[in-house]
Structure 1
Amino acid sequence: MRIVQLTDFYRPTIGGLERHVDSLSQEFVRLGHETTVLTLQIGDRPARETIDGVRIERIQAWSGRMPQLYEDPERPFHPTVPDPGALMALRAAVRRIRPDIVHSHSWLQYSYFPLHRMRRPAPDAPGHIVTLHDYGLGCAKKTNEHGGKPCSGPAPVKCLRCASGEYGALKGAALAGGLRASRPLHRRADAYLAISGAVAEAARKVLPPEADLRIVPSMVPRGIADLARTEPRPGFLPAEDGYLLFVGALGPHKGVDVLLEAHRRLRNRVPLVLIGTPRPDTPEVRDPLVTVVHDVPSAQVMAAWQRASVAVVPSVWQEPLGQVAVEAMLAGRPVVASDVGGLREVVEDGVTGLRVEPGDPGVLAQALDKLLGDPALRRQMGQRGRERAARYTVEVVAPQVVEAFDRVLQRRR
């Protein structure tokens, strides 16, 4: 099978979505499928290269030539409407590659939607499947939140005000208005795959009623569980094992400020380690029992999970899935997580960890103290978590994606 993956960003730009596409692409190659990633050109990166058997082609989008539009010029994301430059480049690439399947992962899909014919397609026309990694199909902020609470659904004025508060009036209006105007294009996909039930529920509000929407979770890379056992102990860790560990963006939306307050209230004052990416709104840390480290390689993160007592995922926004919780569970750690979004599906309350009300440091501290004071319960939850996390490995998830491809191709034929 010839597969084309569409994604705004790819190596060396890496986030949760990009790592998913990378892992999936490598697995496709391992399974014998010819795989090409079409992604946006950033800086002076090569227009074409091959990494680990995956062909990468970087295309020029008109919007990418205006870096002043973006807070981070290294992440000039595709707009919420078709980009003429990207559309022309995608048309040329698809005609040349002649894939069986085009698999979209980001807003770059809006430049492919107009090219995909649902009715009377040519005999060799590819199928089109969209994987939804977040809430960006209906939310310009991709968070599915309004006024700090879960959003009840998109509405023109509400979305305009909400997006403007996030991006500024001009940019917010363009993104929110673009999403609304592009909604008819959502019919230009043969199937949608949502990474969680939370993402699927939000997507149904902006998809046509007849849309084929199924849940296929995101995945962790092959062999990542082995790294927890084989990687040497990182030097930045506290002198003794048994600390609390948080991994993620070091911002309030991830509940870092809530975690710091909960840590101050603990009866069992064990060290806390924060691994992540700093942000302008990262809280200041002065507690000697708190270690903060940035830009840690994946292998060392897994080694850190292996030596922690409890994993903490205190997000206050509607996490689409919560992949760090999966990684912690693969290392056999119990997880204390907020009862939000896709985390409800990853962390089974009372079995693989504890789910708590988001934004409440007192409740979070109580849950952490409960696990810190009960080693037997931690071991039991850790073992159950390792078993549950296996369903999120690339070996399990990739065949589900290929099955979705086959189903679409059979239906189109």
Structure 2
Amino acid sequence: MRVLLLAQFYPPNIGGEERHVRDLAASLAKRGHYVAVATLWQDGLAEHEADQGVQIFRIRGLLQRWSGLFLDPARTHAPPFPDPGLTASLRRIVVSERIEVVHAHNWLLHSFLPLKRAGGPRLVVTLHDLSLVCATKQAICRGELCSGPSFAKCGGCVAHHYGAAKGSVTLATNWTSSWFERRLVDRFLAVSTAIAVGNGLPGGPTPYEVVPNFIRDDVASPDGGQDERLEGLPKQPFILFVGDLRRFKGIDVLMAAYAQLDNVPPLVLIGRKCHDSPTHWPKNVHVFHDWPHAAVMQAWRRSMAGVLPSVGPEACATVLMEAMASGRPMITSNIGGNPDIVDDNISGLIVQPGDQAGLARAIQAMATDEGLRQRLSDGALQKVKTFMASNVVPQIESVYRGVLARERPVIAAANQLQRGSP
């Protein structure tokens, strides 16, 4: 098959979604498919290159010319509506590379929708977030879990998140684009049950499947020598948190829970500093920023257990899989896709989101009960096989074959999209 993956960011930009798309592209290429990736051009990167048998096309849109529109001018993203420049570039790639299946992963999808034709490439979309129903993608409204969309509430939320002008445009265009997505996409892939339900896929007009993120089969065996950053880790066994140091990940809850405990191992945090990151840390907490992935995997091997106490609905946290592949049991919260990955008291411990006392008890148990850790470690190594590339990538291939064999009436919706009205 000839497959085009759409991802607004791609390595060397780091992040779980970027690694997922890169690993999917490389896995498909190794399995004999022609694979191309269309991603947004970033300063200093080649417009076209080959990597691991994958053709990478970095394209530019009209909106990228105005860097002031973006919070981070070095990380311009795709808009929630078709960008004419991106659409034109995607048309050229689809034609020149004779693409059969387009597999989109985020808002770059919107610039492909005007090209969707009944006789053209099939369109598969992986939902890594709640973007079909939420313009901020996470269903968090002013720091709290959102109870559901409504025009007035969403208007205030996006204005707070993006600013009044950008927020109103983002909300209107995302809702409009979502209407077209549900009618033009051939198959949705939700990375967890929570993402499928949260996006309203059950009972909707588009077929869908739950296909999780995956990790490479050899992810727990990082290449290269020991990273010098590891010298800063505690010499004794420690508990490890990996991820953005923000409230969504439960970092405030974790700090409050850890501060209650005495005589427990050090707590190591490796992640990106965010606008809502704490400015002070409890005693025996070690904080490191922006480590490369290989160094993070080496840190997992030195740890005794991990913790991810999210208070927001994680879609499908790859960090849980990477810890489990390293034989490390996880403490995580019962929210989003986390329970799809960790089985309570079998491959890890699950606590309620925001429960400081429950999290403190789980950390205490994990730190002091060696028998518990070993039993959960064995369960983690068994469960994580479900999320290996050798198991998940064939499921994605099966989806491609299914959509190629199935016709879907898209002409009316495509014509409406060209006219600009639902």
Same fold, TM exceeding 0.5? Answer: yes
Relative distance call for 1:126 and 1:286 in structure 2 (3 A) is closer
Counterpart in the other structure of 2:164: 169
CA distance in 2, matches of 1:348, 1:168: 40
> Which one of the candidate residues 312, 319, 324 is aligned to 1:324?
319
Q: 2:58 — aligned with what?
A: 58
* Deviation of 1:288 (Å): 4.6
Distance 2:47 2:327 in 1: 41
Which deviates more from structure 2 when the two are superposed, residues 76-85 or residues 17-26? 76-85
Pairwise CA distance, 1:307: 2.2
Matched, 1:153 2:144: no
Shift of 1:284: 2.2
Q: From the superposition, tell whether residues 155 and 288 of structure 1 become closer, same or farther in structure 2 (CA, over 3 Å).
A: closer
Identify which range, 270-279 or 141-150, moves more after superposition: 141-150
Q: How many matched pairs?
A: 406
Deviation, structure 1 residue 98: 1.1
Q: Would you say the 8 A contact 1:228–1:306 is kept in 2?
A: no
Q: Residues 67-216 of structure 1 correspond to what in structure 2 (within 5 A)? A: 67-118=67-118, 121=119, 125-186=120-181, 187-204=183-200, 209-216=204-211
Deviation at 1:232, TM superposition (A): 7.4
Q: Is the 8 A contact 2:264 2:364 kept in 1?
A: no
Contact in 1 for aligned 2:313/2:337 (Cα 8 Å): yes
User: Shift in Å at residue 271 of structure 1?
Assistant: 0.7
Higher mean alpha-carbon deviation, 374-383 vs 84-93, is at: 84-93
Deviations along 1:15-40, one digit per CA (max 9) or x if unpaired, are: 11111000000001100111100111
- What does the per-residue CA deviation read over 1:184-212, in whole Å, with 9 as the maximum and x for residues that have no partner? 3111111010100011111226x982211
Shift of 1:149: 3.9
The CA distance in 2 between the partners of 1:228 and 1:287, in whole Å, is: 34
Q: Residue in 2 aligned with 1:246?
A: 241
- Alignment pair present for 1:260 and 2:255: yes
What 5-or-longer segments of structure 1 have no aligned partner?
A: none
Deviation at 1:150, TM superposition (A): 3.4
- Aligned residue in 2 for 1:220: 215
Contact 2:239/2:307 (<8 A) preserved: yes
Kept after mapping to 2: 8 A contact 1:8/1:40: yes
Aligned to 1:34: 34
Name the amino acid aligned to 2:191: I
The alignment partner of 2:132 has SS state of coil
Tell me the C-alpha RMSD between the 2 structures: 2.0
Q: Which has the larger displacement, 20-29 or 79-88?
A: 79-88
CA contact (8 A) 2:310 2:333 kept: yes
**CA-to-partner distance for each residue in 1:264-321, whole Å, 9 max, x for gaps?**
1114322110011112322123545111111222222122212222211011111111
Change (3 A) 1:228 1:317: farther
Partner of 1:408: 403
What is the rounded CA distance, in whole Å, between the counterparts of 1:77 and 1:54 in structure 2?
22
If the length of structure 1 is used for normalisation, what is the TM-score? 0.94
Q: Which runs of 4+ in 1 moved over 6 A?
A: none
Q: 2:354 aligns with which of 350, 359, 376?
A: 359
Q: Which residue of structure 2 aligns with residue 392 of structure 1?
A: 387
